[in-house]
Each structure stands twice: as C-alpha cells, then as structure tokens.
Amino acid sequence: MKFHIVTFGCQMNVNDSDWLARALLARGWQEAPEDEADLVVLNTCSVREKPEQKVHSALGRLGQSFRGRPQAFAAVGGCVAQQLGEDLLRRYPFVRLVFGSDGIAQAPNALERIAAEPGLQMALLDFLKTYPEREEAWEGGAAAHADAPGPRQCFVNIMQGCDNFCAYCIVPYTRGRQKSRRPEAVLRECREQIARGVREITLLGQNVNSFGQDAGGAGMNFAELLHAVAALPGLDRLRFTTSHPKDIAPEVVRAFGELENLCPHLHLPLQSGSDAVLRRMGRKYDTERYLRIVRELQAARPDIALGTDLIVGFPGETDEDFERTLEMMREVRFESSFSFKYSDRPGVAAVNMTPKVDPQTASDRLSRLQELQNEITSEALESRVGAVCEVLFDGPSRVQSEDAAFWRGRDSGGRIVNVPLCGAEREEDLAGRMMPVRITEAKKHSLIGEKTGEAW
Ligand code: SAH
Ligand code: SF4
Ligand code: F3S
C-alpha cells in the first residue's frame, strides 16, 4: 500500500501527521506522491473559514483523481473531520475513514482493515476522558509541510484539547476538553528522541501553561515539567507552544532565567489590545496584566524574543479598539506575529455578537497592522547585526549563490539565519548541526551571518 498525507493547520496537526506516517511505515506501507497513492490522508484545520474551504477543494480534486482507480481511497482527520464527522463519509463516498484528534491513535489499525475490506467505511470521532497514548513509531516519515521540524528537532505532545472557549474559537469543539498527558510518557518520548539524535524539542499543546490542571491531573504542573525536560542530558534547546497569558505561572516566567537550554523565545497570543474586546473575547486578562507579564519575562531574560497572534475585526471592534491594538504592538514590540481577520465559526459564542465589522474595514485594519509589524520586525532584525549567536541548521537555504553554499537555520530566539560557506568549506554539511555565527546583515524576515567557529 502506498500513502500520501496532506497537512493543514497548526503544529499539532504537523506532529499528528508525522506520527501517522511513521505508524503506517511500521506496517509496511510506503510513502508516495499524491497521484500514485492508494490512500490519501487529509489532516485538516477549521480554525477559520478559509482552511475549511481548502479541505473541500482538496476533496473535489481527489474525487477527480481517484476516477479510474477504484482501489484508491481517502481518509480525513483533524478538526474538519471532527466537526463534520460522518457527513463527510456520505458526501464523499471515496472517503472511507474520518478520525478526530482522539481517534487518530486507532487510525493506523483502522486503515489496515479498510484496505483489506472493500466498501468498509469507519469513523473514529469519540472524545476520550484521558489522553490517548499512541503506539511508539520512530522510523522515517516526515509530514511534508512548511512547518515540519528540521532533522534534529522534534515536537512532543504534552496535552490535547482546550477548556477556555474563547468566544471566537472552534478548537474546544474540535479537539475536546483539555487532557494532559502523563509526565512519564512525555519524558519517555523526549528521552527516546534525544537518544535518536534530537537536539531541540518543542513541547506542544493548545494551552501548555495549564498542563496538569485538568480533571485527570498529571501530578506535575507545567513549570515542573519544563524543569524535568530541560534536565534531560543531551538536550541543547527546549521550546514550548502555545501559551495563554492568563495561565502563565511566575515559575514558568522565572524558568526563562533559570534554564540554560530553554530558548529565549515565547509565543504569547495577545489577540487584541483593547480591554473591551478582550473582555468580549473571554480572554480573562487585560492589557495591564499582559504588559506586566512581558516586563517580568524581560526581567528574567532580557534577550527574549516575543511573538503573538492578533485578530482584527472581532464583532464590535471600533476604530478606537483597533488603535489600542496598534499601541500594544508598539509598546511590546513583538518580533513577529500571526494576524487574522475574524472569521465566524459554527457554534462559537461570537457568531451571535454584533455588530459585525464590515469586511473592507477588517481588511484595511489587517494591512495596517501587518505594515506596522513589518516595520517592527525589520528594526528588531536590524538590531541583531553584529551579535554573535548559535544557529541550529535545518538544511540548505532556498536561495543559493554562485560563490557560496548557503545554509539555513535558526538562532535560539527563533530567527531565521542564512550562512554562506565559501571555498573548501562549501562541501561541509551543516544540516542538524550547531555553529557560532556573527550576524552581518538583516533582511526583511531573516538574517545573514558568517561562521565564527566550528560546527558541532
Ligand atoms: N490555543 C491556541 C489557539 C490556536 S488557534 C493558541 O492560543 O495559540 C490559533 C490562532 O488563530 C488564535 O490564537 C487566534 O489568533 C486565531 N483564531 C482562532 N479562531 C479564530 C477565528 N474565528 N477568526 C480569526 N482568527 C481566529
Ligand atoms: Fe486548526 Fe486549531 Fe485544529 Fe490546529 S487545533 S488544526 S489550528 S482548528
Ligand atoms: Fe482557542 Fe482560546 Fe483555546 S484561542 S484553543 S479557545 S485558548
């Protein structure tokens, strides 16, 4: 059997696809291009309307390409699968498995059965009470995705689901209630990954700061888990995502000053700079509290690089609310941000909130916000020129030149750094290695640096 996985959405989906690929490889299946695959898996996202539409166009395309190949079939996983469920099986007869975030643990066995039993369709959509541990599968398989981790980096899930019900967000409905993973299982997976050569681990969850706070508990809070993972011998870099500002504990803030391998980099979604909008979003913090956290983080780790998520055009957002968001951006000076136009999602509280912001106004706000972000990003990158940092390389840069081989990696703050190797050094393979680099130039979204020492 040949399979192909297409991944939409967040890092949790990237990580899920990666595991599914490994579990299928362990069963003797092979990865293949989409038009040669017997099974195409779509791992989907429904956080906004656009990614959901992409799933339907991908399914339309698959319907065409499966014509004349009756043995080929599709499976749909992730958030759209959880949301639309068995409707997908009815609407697209060539879809023979739908699975949600808890069901994925059973997906490899289900796929084997389906491949052997013509006509069988299955749904794995139940939410479970505890974190569903998955079988261990290590060999090969990499989800083809722009966010896929580099050769010696990996993601490790620490929880699933979300209990926050922010007024705009569909995730609590598609990923279910928060369930923390057992710390022993997290540590076992981290240890195994390090033994296999991983140097950088990113702990993953919708809301990592509330690790261990759900009904099942975990016998450990997030700060304790961070300390335990950071102490694993051989781990060069540790990151985590995503954090909710309301739950970030003082011990986690302090960890940035205490743990040497915890990278000075934090994604802390703000969503809006207006207290009135934050209140309607149900975020449970205000700008004052957010700024206090930022100052504490900067006190613990002065070089910390902050990133964020922002939504414009939330129902009722006025010009003045939006100006507040711009002010917060100027105040915090986020090095990077993901920003989105509010998108109505079925079943969320904000659907019933009025007045809706007209789409043109929301688009104008989004462009103004992104312009400001570009300015701040440029200035932040510019200020790195001259600094010496350690870069962990993913692989060759996309852009190469005639007289040098360019390698692409990230510094500990998560900034992209491209480094040329000239002369005899052109033959050197930097993928998965770390090297001291002096930053020589800032581009719009990345840095250029020169080698100042040997790679290791
Ligand atoms: N727990 C994750 C949320 C994942 S959703 C986190 O806090 O990062 C990722 C981002 O998508 C959110 O932070 C939010 O900025 C955005 N988002 C979620 N629902 C949205 C909606 N209905 N419209 C626009 N953006 C949305
Ligand atoms: Fe998309 Fe959210 Fe689901 Fe991730 S958890 S796939 S961002 S809807
Ligand atoms: Fe969504 Fe808010 Fe949870 S953004 S994933 S409901 S923390």
User: Residue 290: which CATH number?
Assistant: 3.30.750.200
Is residue 178 domain-resident?
yes
**Rounded to the nearest whole angstrom, what is the distance from the C-alpha of residue 215 to the centroid of ligand 3?**
18
Decide whether any atom of ligand 3 lies within 6 Å of the 162 Cβ. Answer: yes
Closest CA to 199 of 410, 443, 354, 55: 410
Domain end residue (candidates: 240, 263, 286)? 263
Q: Is 80 exceeded by the pLDDT of residue 217?
A: no
Q: How many domains does the chain have?
A: 4
pTM score, whole prediction: 0.95
Start-to-end Cα distance in the chain? 39
Residues 379 and 404 in one domain: no
pLDDT in tens, 348-391: 999 999 999 999 999 999 999 999 999 999 999 999 999 999 99
Ranges of beta strands (E only) in 318-422 are: 336-341, 388-396, 405-410, 416-421
Based on the domain organization, do 417 and 402 belong to the same domain? yes
Residue 441: inside a domain: yes
- Give nearest CA residue, ligand 1 atom 13: 309
Radius of gyration for the chain, computed over Cα atoms and rounded to the nearest angstrom: 23
pLDDT, residue 116, reads 95
Q: Is the minimum distance from the CB of 45 to ligand 2 under 6 angstroms? A: yes
User: Looking at the structure, do residues 153 and 228 belong to the same domain, yes or no?
Assistant: yes
Q: What residue owns the CA closest to ligand 2's atom 8?
A: 47
Say how many Å lie between the CA of residue 45 and the centre of ligand 2: 5
Same domain, 287 and 374: yes
Q: Which of 340, 343, 366, 373 to mutate to test the pocket of ligand 1 (most atoms within 8 A of CB)?
A: 340
Per DSSP bridges, beta strands 39-44 and 200-204 are unpaired
Asked if residue 130 belongs to a domain, the reply is: no
Both 148 and 255 in a single domain? yes
Buried b or exposed e, range 255-285, using 16+ CB within 10 angstroms = bbbebebbbbbbbbbbbbbbbebbebbebeb
| CA dist 98 → 108, 164, 183 (Å) | 12, 26, 29
Which of these, 241, 148, 133, 239, lies nearest to 188 by C-alpha position? 133
Residues in CB range of 34: below 8 A, 6 or more apart: 4, 6, 40, 65
Question: Which CATH number do you get for residue 399?
Answer: 2.40.50
Residues 8 and 91 reside in one and the same domain:
yes
Q: Is the CB of 206 within 6 Å of ligand 3?
A: yes
Residue-wise pLDDT tens digits, 122-134: 999 999 999 999 9
Closest Cα to atom 15, ligand 1: which residue? 309
63 and 112 housed in the same domain: yes
In a domain, 85, yes or no: yes
Residue 133 domain flag: no
Could you report the per-residue pLDDT of 138-196, keeping only the tens digit for each? 887 665 566 778 889 999 999 999 999 999 999 999 999 999 999 999 999 999 999 99
Cβ of 46 closer than 6 Å to ligand 2, yes or no, is yes
Range of the domain at 433: 388-451
Closest ligand 1 atom to Cα of 162: 1
Q: Which ligand is nearest to the CA of 271?
A: 1
